[in-house]
Structure 1
Amino acid sequence: MTSILIADDDFISLEVLKAMLSSYNVNIITAQDGKHACDLALEHQPSLIILDYEMPVMTGAEACANLRKNSQFKNIPIIALTGHQSSTELNTCRDAGMNQTLHKPVSPEAIAELFKSYLPNI
Structure 2
Amino acid sequence: MLIIDDDGDSAQALAAALDMEGFRTVVARNGFTAFKTAPAWTPHVVILDIEMPDCDRFAMASAMRGSSRFQNTPIIAFTSLAEADVIERGKDAQIDAFCRKGSSIRPLLKLIEYLAPVSGPSDTI
Unaligned runs of 5+ in 1: none
Distance 1:98 1:75, change over 3 A: same
SS at match of 1:20: helix
SS at match of 2:43: coil
Stretch moving more, 54-63 or 77-86: 54-63
CA deviations 1:47-103 (Å, max 9, x no partner) are 110110012322322211101012332321011111011534321122101100111
Partner of residue 99, structure 2: 102
Asked if structure 1 preserves the Cα contact closer than 8 Å seen for 2:18 and 2:24, the reply is no
Partner of residue 47, structure 2: 50
CA distance in 1, matches of 2:103, 2:74: 17
Distance 1:74 1:34, change over 3 A: same
Partner of residue 67, structure 1: 64
Of 92, 114, 120, 2:118 maps to: 120
Larger RCO, structure (CA 8 Å, separation 6 or more): 2
AA aligned to 1:116 is E
RMSD between aligned residues? 2.0
Using structure 1 for the length normalisation, give the TM-score: 0.83
Distance 1:106 1:11, change over 3 A: farther
Corresponding position: 1:7 with 2:4: yes
- Count of equivalent residues: 119
AA aligned to 1:53 is I
Unaligned runs of 5+ in 2: none
Asked if structure 2 preserves the Cα contact closer than 8 Å seen for 1:61 and 1:96, the reply is yes
CA distance in 1, matches of 2:52, 2:40: 20
Percent of aligned positions with the same letter in both sequences? 29
Using structure 2 for the length normalisation, give the TM-score: 0.81
CA distance in 2, matches of 1:48, 1:106: 20
CA distance in 2, matches of 1:56, 1:44: 26
The structure with the greater share of residues assigned to strand is 1
Partner of residue 75, structure 2: 78
The structure with the greater share of residues assigned to helix is 1
Greater than 4 Å deviation, 4+ residue runs: none
